[in-house]
Amino acid sequence: MRRVAVIGAGYTKFGEHWNKSLRQLSTEAGALALEDAKLEGKDIQALYIGNMSSGHFIGQEHVAALAADQSGLTPIPATRVEAACASSALAFRQAVLSIMSGKHDIVIAAGAEKMTDITGASALSTLMGAGDQEWESSIGLTFAGLYALMAQRHMKDYGTTREQMAMVSVNNHKNGSLNPLAQHPFEITVEKVLNSSLIADPLRLLDCSPITDGAAAVVLVSEELAKRFENPIWVLGSGQASDTLALHNRNSMTEMLSTKVAAKIAYGEAKLKPENIDVVEVHDCFSINEIIAIEDLGFCEKGQGGKFVEDNKIARDGERPVNTTGGLKSIGHPVGATGIRQIIDIVKQLRGTYGSLQINGAKTGLALNIGGSGATAAVHILGREY
């Protein structure tokens, strides 16, 4: 099978885009990626786009055809990929596989979501479609409630503290304050997190990622074509796994089997270990998820994620820089676009030209995108060399 490289990348400003539609956001992201790659639409052979629930959010289905139409990419094959909040990471994976197989040589992978055209309550109801309807959403559980249960159990089993969870948000906002594309580019304090509104005990408002509009896109090419482009970033490993949809059916509430399995696959393909990863993007939809992710990816022992955060090991100058551009908490979380956005931030770090956001010397990066409460996980490892 052939190797695959990313040669173009771009994402829109994340936030509440009252004056932009889903089609405008997705077209903008695609144009940014093509401009970055110095290519034109006629060069693209296939499109994969991640989108969770445009039918509920804006009343528009058939999103892949819409994206191809509005971007001037017809009549190439265009495919929508849905896996809740992991939709665009799986779109990326499908693009990688299509090139590895020899079917295509140059592909766009994208993600887009327009979430703010409905009320907050309706948005939360739509998001719970990613949970188990019979056992969770029908009795009033939200994802904040599900992750609160994980947090409570993690605190009970391992002594994780409220302050340690707050430090996750503080770190991500500190990084996001440097990112002009972030929805909330400002710093916060532990005290502000602890004093913010209670959402689902022990999670508070500033433990939670926001409702967001945005889009992201990358251009991928085969190894043969990559040689024609400056500074390609290589896909070293791609892993995907699943777990039970309902939280109560899992063996553990303090780990995600899907993450551990997907990571094992990706590490194996990349021939790397956790200690070989220089920069990390993890799915911090809620602060506890970042702590669990750090553990499940092998950056520290199980139960030590809170201490790992407290010791500043996830900081930009720490042992394992995590969410160096703000994470979901500060950048925002347009659910269908987040996975590609994470990959773009890894790509830009590995290029070594990310300005104030740059982590010096980064040669390898890992992105973890989670769907729902962990029923889907996608892990991608990228590198400057292969």
By residue count, the chain amounts to 386
Q: Is residue 248 annotated as a catalytic residue, yes or no? A: no
> Which is catalytic among the residues 17, 85, 104, 285?
85
Identity of residue 11: Y
> Which is catalytic among the residues 104, 173, 283, 333?
333
CA–CA–CA angle 120, 125, 126 (5° rounding): 95
Q: Is residue 85 annotated as a catalytic residue, yes or no? A: yes
Residue 371 to residue 357: CA distance in whole angstroms: 27
Tally Cβ neighbours within 10 Å of residue 76: 16
What DSSP assignment string belongs to 190-225?
HHHHHHSPEEETTEEGGGBPPB-BEEEEEEEEEHHH
Backbone angles phi, psi at 43, to 5 degrees: -80, -15
Q: Are 208 and 183 in contact (CB under 8 A)?
A: no
Residue 259 exposed, middle or buried by CB count within 10 Å (0-12, 13-18, 19+)? buried
Would you please indicate which residues are annotated as catalytic (active-site) residues? 85, 333
